[in-house]
Structure 1
Amino acid sequence: MALTLARVVQTCSAYPSQWDAWTVDGHYLYLRYRHGVGSVERYPGADIDTWDGDESELLAEWDDGTDGGTIELADFLTAAGLQLAPGAEESAG
């Protein structure tokens, strides 16, 4: 079953593509795509100072072989096995 996102904020639309995201149950995820590699990481919160704890986890990673640096959110979600909740909030940071 795919993780469902309630809120997604694009923090970089250039190289690399990246987003802050929150699941429907409140977990923070960091989504990043660079050099054709996408990753989904779970952290305690959006504050980078909290990212070294035991709650941090790599949930998904893939290499599409393109060496690309940008990707649309819909394509990223498909590749990562994520989905948006109905009425999910999407914005640029």
Structure 2
Amino acid sequence: MTALAKVIQTCSACPSQWNAWTSTGQYLYLRYRFGVGTVDAYNNPDPDTWLTIPDGRIARFSKGDGLDGEISLEDFLTAAGLELAPDAEVA
């Protein structure tokens, strides 16, 4: 299971989304929209530099119905197969 060292929520709902970094420094974009959660890896959190659209290349799950756009970080991590490192920074 991938451990996250730092997670910053950038939007609380519609979609719920976070910027996250693994314990090895890899940046991950976490998003939950329309009942679908996705995790994608990029070089940095600036979407203007991303060469691919977020589509769940690292993880993808369905939870709830097609109108859902809000999920807690804990529920997102569980569904995506991710976890917080013991000393993780969460903001």
Residue 27 of structure 1: aligned partner: 26
Gaps of 5+ in 2: none
Q: 1:15-55 CA deviation, whole Å, 9 max, x = no partner?
A: 110000000000000000001000000001111132117xx
TM-score by length of 1: 0.88
**Structure 1 position 52 matched with structure 2 position 46:** no
4+ residue stretches of structure 1 with deviation over 2 A?
Answer: none
Residue 87 of structure 2: aligned partner: 87
Residue 74 of structure 2: aligned partner: 74
Matches of 1:31 and 1:45, distance apart in 2 = 13
Gaps of 5+ in 1: none
2:27·2:41 contact (CA, 8 Å) conserved in 1? yes
TM-score by length of 2: 0.89
2:13·2:71 contact (CA, 8 Å) conserved in 1? no
Letter in 2 for 1:42: A
Which of the two has greater strand per residue?
1
Matches of 1:65 and 1:17, distance apart in 2 = 14
Deviation at 1:79, TM superposition (A): 0.2
- Would you say how many aligned residue pairs link Structure 1 and Structure 2? 87
